[in-house]
Structure 1
Amino acid sequence: MHRFDLRVYYEDTDLAGIVYYANYLKFIERGRSEWLRALGFDQRALKEETDTVFAVRRLEADYIAPAKFDDALTVLSTAEAVTPARLVLAQQVLRGEERLFEAKVTLVALNAAGGPTRLPKPLRDAFAALV
């Protein structure tokens, strides 16, 4: 499991001071990017050295409670499944212990031209060890 902490800025909110729904997707994207970095993978290097990029193939999301301006939030990310070309992750956004948002995200590996490819073995092995 990976933990990424963030704060809600004014720009993340609507006129009522509540986080705009699409910004949760940005929050969990940041959580995934920082998790890769913590595991020792640089997305730019993956693209340059292995011709591999990631795309969201499927996302199921539940909005449970609103986050508000200046809230301290945590994104928790957990690997659920790994295949040669796909990662399935569970992600949650919390305010303290309160669950605000959760998503199940399926990521696929693509080459830089947008065609399907396999995950680089070191990355696949790192995530397989977490399932």
Structure 2
Amino acid sequence: MSHVFSLRVYYEDTDLAGIVYYANYLKFIERARTEWVRELGIDQARLKAQEGIVFAVRRVEADYLAPARFDDRLEVRTETESVGGARLVLRQEVLRDGERLFAAVVTLVALSAAGQVARLPAGLRRQLR
């Protein structure tokens, strides 16, 4: 099962050639992850306040396949690849009318308030699967 997040490309997202600036794809997939977690019923502010846990990106493998342009309607699809004790691996892709423009494998880790790797609570791991 995948989560779908829709967005439109604004002028501020593009470079002088009118195509989406490469770093903005990372922003798009970040927004999609935030909405995916929210739709799962996970309140990240509460997780931080009560459990002392935040998520941090550990690694991103990205493939830029085709350009998105100003005013395009895009979809970001997010799927869970694996959930470990403190690690979460996601596959994300950006599409325009079904055409795959960008693909990424994102590894997230759970961190404590002190910045140390923290084990995810079992209930949270189940939600993320």
Structure 2: unaligned runs, 5 residues or longer:
none
SS of equivalent to 1:4: strand
Q: For the residues of structure 1 that align with 2:72 and 2:123, how far apart are their CA atoms?
A: 36
- In structure 1, the partner of 2:49 is 48
For 1:25-64, list aligned pairs within 5 A.
25-64=26-65
SS of equivalent to 1:30: helix
Q: 1:14-63: CA deviations, max 9, x gaps?
A: 11111000000000000100000000011111111110001111110000
- Identity between Structure 1 and Structure 2 (%): 66
- Alignment TM-score, normalising by the size of structure 1: 0.95
Amino acid at match of 1:12: D
SS of equivalent to 1:108: strand
- In structure 1, the partner of 2:22 is 21
Amino acid at match of 2:114: A
Q: For the residues of structure 2 that align with 1:44 and 1:127, how far apart are their CA atoms?
A: 16
User: Cα distance, 1:121 vs. partner?
Assistant: 2.2
Structure 1 moving runs of 4+ over 3 Å: none
Q: 1:92-122: CA deviations, max 9, x gaps?
A: 0000110000000010000122111011322
Q: Does 1:83 align with 2:91?
A: no
Q: For the residues of structure 1 that align with 2:55 and 2:34, how far apart are their CA atoms?
A: 11
- In structure 1, the partner of 2:104 is 103
- Alignment TM-score, normalising by the size of structure 2: 0.96
| Cα RMSD (Å) | 0.8
Structure 1: unaligned runs, 5 residues or longer:
none
- In structure 2, the partner of 1:115 is 116
- In structure 2, the partner of 1:12 is 13
